[in-house]
Structure 1
Amino acid sequence: MPNPHSKAPANHEGPYYVDTDCIDCCGCREIAPRHFGFDEDTGLSYVMRQPETAEEKEIVNEAMNHCPTESIGNDGEEEG
């Protein structure tokens, strides 16, 4: 379960985030490259662009559901 108290520092402000349990498997960046980036300073993936449309939220939610460490969260916003 993602930890909202341990968000990666580079996350763009908004409901979606990556926490510091990220192992940088690259999965989120492969699924949603327009929304996730890599922070070389921390070695963590992060949300670089919050989704705005239903289609974008669907893609980010897919990345969230495929995260092996469950490090992607959305602060309780409804998925989809």
Structure 2
Amino acid sequence: MDANPNSLGGRDAKLELSPRELECLCWVSQGKSSTDIGSILGLSARTVDSYLEKAASKLGVRTRIEAVAVGVRRGLIEID
């Protein structure tokens, strides 16, 4: 087992998440809803939810809030 908390199965987590997944996580970290994020990015709320579900799955968590927490811990996203 890899002891590095910043790794994801031995791979760089930043490479695992798509730019859109990271972007959606950043907006979630700022308290935005899927509807808000969709409006900002020109996407449907369902598409935003899909990106967030994929990001959570890749990070090994179940919720968008957990995904943000892991993303912050791993240095994938910054909270202002």
TM-score (norm 1): 0.35
Rg comparison, structure with higher value: 2
Structure of greater relative contact order (alpha carbons < 8 Å, 6+ residues apart): 1
